[in-house]
Copies of this chain bind each other. A is one copy, B any other.
Amino acid sequence: MSDWRSTPCVERHKEFLENLITTLIDSIFESVSRENPVLRWREPGHLQDIINLNLQEEPRNQDCLLDVATKVFKYSVKTGHPYFMNQLFSGLDPYGLAGQWLTDVLNCSVYTYEVAPVLTLMESTVITKLLSMFYKEENGTTIGDGLFCPGGSFANGTAINLARFWFKKKIQYNKNIPSMRLVLFTSEDAHYSISKWGNVCDVEVVLIKTDDYGRMDVSDLRFNILEEQKKKNYPFCVTATAGTTVLGAFDPLIEIADTCQEFGMWLHVDAAWGGGLVFSKKHSVLLRGIQRADSILFNPHKLLAVPQQCSLLLCKHKSIFKEAHSKEAPYLFQKDKFYSRDLDVGDKYLQCGRRPDVLKFWFMWQAKGTSGFEKHVDHLMKLSALFKEEVEKRDGFKLVTEPCFINVCFWFIPPYLRIQNSVYDYKKRLNEVAPKLKEKMIKRGSLMINYQPLHKKPNFFRFVIQNSGVNIEDILYVFDEMENLGESM
Contact = CB atoms under 8 A, between A and B. Distances in A.
A366 B20 contact: no
A368 B59 contact: yes
Contacts of A54: 125
A195 B328 CA distance: 12
A386 interface: no
A372 B59 contact: yes
Contact of A69 (B24, B102, B201): B102
A47 interface: yes
A237 to B, nearest CB: 14
5 contacts: A3-B468, A17-B97, A157-B200, A200-B200, A338-B442
Given A107-B80, A327-B195, A114 B98 contact: no
B350 A153 contact: yes
A47 B117 CA distance: 8
Contacts of A226: none
Contact of A97 (B47, B104, B108, B365): B104
A106 interface: yes
A113 B44 contact: yes
A387 to B, nearest CB: 16
B471 A108 contact: no
Contacts of A453: 330
Contact of A104 (B42, B48, B65, B104): B104
Contact of A14 (B1, B29, B329): B29
A390 to B, nearest CB: 19
Nearest to A42: B117
Given A1-B379, A72-B122, 6 more contacts: A16-B95, A24-B102, A51-B118, A59-B367, A108-B308, A154-B154
A450 B331 contact: yes
Interface residues of A, number: 156
Top 3 A-B pairs ranked by shortest CB distance? A150-B150, A338-B439, A331-B452
B98 A101 contact: no
Interface stretch (A85-93, A261-269, A394-402, A478-486): A85-93
A425 interface: no
Contact of A150 (B14, B22, B355): B355
A93 B2 CA distance: 13
A152 B352 contact: yes
Give how many copies assemble into the complex: 2
Q: Which of A13, A51, A193, A352 has the most CB of B within 10 A?
A: A352
A108 B77 CA distance: 8
A454 B98 CA distance: 42
A117 B435 contact: no
Contacts of A82: 5
Contacts of A104: 97, 100-101, 104, 307
Interface string A342-373: 01000000111111000100110111111110
A371 B57 contact: yes
Contacts of A178: 178-179
A462 B330 CA distance: 13
Contact of A117 (B59, B76, B125): B76
A403 interface: no
A36 to B, nearest CB: 12
B350 A197 contact: yes
A419 interface: no
A186 B45 CA distance: 43
Contacts of A352: 151-153, 191-193
A429 to B, nearest CB: 13
A489 interface: no
A426 interface: no
Given A92-B105, A121-B47, A331-B246, A151 B17 contact: no
B327 A117 contact: no
Contacts of A255: none
A18 interface: yes
Contact of A353 (B308, B366, B451): B308
Given A58-B371, A72-B102, A25 B29 contact: no
A236 to B, nearest CB: 13
A126 interface: yes
A86 B115 contact: yes
A355 B102 contact: no
Contacts of A95: 16, 65
Contacts of A291: none
Nearest to A180: B179
